[in-house]
Structure 1
Amino acid sequence: MKVVSLVGARPQFVKLAPIAHELARRGHEHTIIHTGQHYHPLLSQSFFDELQIPSPDMNLAAGSATPALQTGDMLARLDPVLAQTRPHWVLTYGDTTSTLAGTLAAAAQNLSIAHVEAGLRSFNRTMPEERNRVVADHLGDLLLAPTRAAMDNLAAEGLADRSVLCGDLMVDCLRAVMPSSGGASAELPCFLADSPDGYLLATVHRAATTDDPQRLSAVLAALAACPKPVWLLVHPRLAARCREFGIDPVGGSLRTADPLPYRTMVAALAAAAGLVTDSGGLQKEALVLGTPCSTLRAETEWPETLSDGWNVLVPDPRDLPAVVARTRPAGPPPSPFGDGHAAAAIVSQLANRGERPVLVSRPTRRSVTA
């Protein structure tokens, strides 16, 4: 079976790792195409090194741009590559611009598309991630859902016959770096030693947060007012916007650091008193690690994380200091994301349908059952 994986951003590399290992273990042909959407070494190459992902067979070097320009550039670069490789399956992951471009490029050539992490919905179409995941699901031929809620969303949109519940690849990857003792197999970065009474980790990168100077200033002021030290891991987009708007992201409780390699990030998140983020994937990781999360958004595509107050939505940044001071939920966190064997389930689904011709008419898809 020939599989092409299209990836380009940090969360996709985490999902790719267990898939790449499982495809290799079963002897399938796997081509990895890196779009170059994330090109900072700490958000790209470090994941390939740490998680032992094979080097990409090609890097499209798309770089940064507006979503429309980035999508167009990726489409132009992907078209001849997919025409040459002609895989049995094109795997797209999550909800990034790379996902949208990969889906459109594969559909244009009538290649069979499998969407990893299908069925997520924030029900906010102003988010580019929401638009990307909706397109990926409706053009996809095999929808690999991580949770029951995702399966329900797909069924509500008439996509049940193409949907399979496989679990979440994030759990596979976390298990690979977490020893049986439950701690992460990496030491904490030395700067966290300056917070003996506990600390909060924070990430801010979405356009809705960073591209509005008033919103960004309010978020940074709220982080500075938190009752514990806050270590903000500075994404390249955040750094660029702070320079552009003349905002200093330091003061009060707020400190800054570079993005952390994956294993170190897992260790830091597991040891943190809490997480503040506008990310999607980190909400899940925090829940699995038992770290309370406060999400700087009005909605989440991961409603499972809201159980028992493990994750609290904070649309108004002024509420953040009080929210992060809440009492830690009692008991262990829920486990809605599967048993850590999502990669095996996904590769089995692909293999069971893999050796077939590429699609010639998308309206006549075969039914997909678990």
Structure 2
Amino acid sequence: MKVLTILGARPQFIKAAAVSRVIREEVTELIVHTGQHYDANMSDIFFEELNIPKPDYHLGIGSGNHGKQTGEMLAKIEEIILTETPDFVLVYGDTNSTLAGALAAAKLHVPIVHIEAGLRSFNKKMPEEVNRILTDHISTLLLCPTDTAIQNLTNEHISEGVYNVGDVMYDAVLYNKELAASSTTILERENLTAKDYLLITIHRAENTDDVDRMKSILDAFSQIPDKKVWPIHPRTKHKLEDYGFKLDQIPNLYVIEPVGYLDMLSLETNAKKIVTDSGGVQKEAYFAEVPCVTVRDQTEWVETLIEDANILTGTDTDKIVAAVNKKVTPSYTPVFGDGKTSEKVLALLKEYLA
């Protein structure tokens, strides 16, 4: 069995580390890195730290407008599929790399495996929402993380090849959390005390591409007196510079470079609260049992909203401040599977070919 795995962004590297570790015991896997995340801190460190096999193909696409980026990926992935003739093309999540890989496979009649199928924010202004909908509607095996994702696909009349396998990021967290817990390097390096800081991550285009939304978010940070640690995404940093915002004028805000996965797990686990617009960070906060505030109008991870474990605020300044200050004690019900998602992926691949 030969599987062609398409990767391009930080969350996909983390998921692939868990799945590749298992499927390579019985499957020939070739990895294509599109280069969507090309900064060393957003790409190379994850391959090294998580022991992901070196990509067999590195497309070096880099940044660009959605159409240009996706089109260049599509053309190059198509050539690789024609050369390698895989039994499956495996894609993760909702990036342009995801859609390009799925489209290339669909046109060449190669079965598509979509891990994290069925997620919906119901906001088609988000490029990620468009990517995930289109990918789901052309996929062969739709491997869902939750019952909610299954229901979303049912509502769109997709039922064939649909399975709830649990959340692969839960696999990754369970595998790596002890390593992260034993390493306090990031806390020592940044002079942080556990449970004495807020962790911030902002990168979604719906926020970063809108100067008014970013201003509202930054105004909230200015009103929150707590120590705030922000490993800033390169794209976000460039956008804020373009807008002329001065982060050094926000009290107690410590902006640092992007960090590796283990350092990020450590920052998340030791934060007293997390403020984010990332789908993956929302879940990692839930796994770490750290309260989360999500500066978006919707979330595809509705399970995290139970008992205010995650509070949606949009970008309203007052709502963000109130949510950060709100005292919550969620029970963190286990709703993301049993940490054996990768084994289930392998079993379904074998079953499909059989």
**TM-score bracket for the superposition, by shorter chain length:** over 0.9
Aligned pair partner of 2:220 in 219, 222, 247: 222
Verify the 8 A CA contact 2:9 2:36 in the aligned structure 1: yes
Quote the RMSD (CA, aligned, Å): 1.5
**SS of alignment partner, residue 25 of structure 1:** coil
Q: Report what 1:328 is aligned to.
A: 328
Shift of 1:92: 0.7
Shift of 1:219: 1.0
**Distance in 2, Cα, partners of 1:327 & 1:220:** 22
Q: Report what 1:185 is aligned to.
A: 182
The alignment status of 1:273 with 2:260, answered yes or no, reads no
Verify the 8 A CA contact 2:194 2:270 in the aligned structure 1: no
Verify the 8 A CA contact 2:195 2:271 in the aligned structure 1: no
Aligned pair partner of 1:246 in 244, 247, 256: 244
Q: Report what 1:339 is aligned to.
A: 338
Shift of 1:188: 4.5
Distance 1:194 1:348, change over 3 A: closer
Q: Report what 2:93 is aligned to.
A: 94
Structure 1: any 5+ residue segments left out of the alignment? 356-370
Structure 2: any 5+ residue segments left out of the alignment? none
**Distance in 1, Cα, partners of 2:105 & 2:195:** 51
Shift of 1:227: 3.4
Verify the 8 A CA contact 1:233 1:260 in the aligned structure 2: yes
**Distance in 2, Cα, partners of 1:75 & 1:269:** 35
Q: Give the TM-score normalised by structure 1.
A: 0.92
**SS of alignment partner, residue 193 of structure 1:** coil
Shift of 1:194: 4.4
The alignment status of 1:41 with 2:40, answered yes or no, reads yes
**Distance in 2, Cα, partners of 1:195 & 1:225:** 21
**Distance in 2, Cα, partners of 1:221 & 1:144:** 40
Aligned residues: 351
**Distance in 2, Cα, partners of 1:67 & 1:318:** 33
- 1:158-307 residue pairs with structure 2 within 5 A? 158-179=157-178, 184-189=181-186, 190-195=188-193, 198-250=196-248, 251-307=250-306
Distance 1:146 1:236, change over 3 A: same
Q: Report what 1:368 is aligned to.
A: none
Quote the sequence identity (%): 39
Verify the 8 A CA contact 2:90 2:113 in the aligned structure 1: yes
Q: Report what 2:124 is aligned to.
A: 125
After the TM superposition, which of the residue ranges 192-201 and 150-159 deviates more from structure 2? 192-201
**Distance in 1, Cα, partners of 2:63 & 2:182:** 33
- 1:131-150 residue pairs with structure 2 within 5 A? 131-150=130-149
Deviation string, structure 1 residues 112-169 (Cα, Å, up to 9, x no partner) = 0010000000011111100000001000011000111111111111112220110111
**Distance in 2, Cα, partners of 1:183 & 1:262:** 9
Verify the 8 A CA contact 2:194 2:271 in the aligned structure 1: no
**Distance in 2, Cα, partners of 1:333 & 1:112:** 36
Q: Give the TM-score normalised by structure 2.
A: 0.96
Deviation string, structure 1 residues 293-323 (Cα, Å, up to 9, x no partner) = 0000110000000001000001113321221
Q: Which runs of 4+ in 1 moved over 3 A?
A: 194-197
Shift of 1:221: 1.9
**Distance in 1, Cα, partners of 2:55 & 2:324:** 40
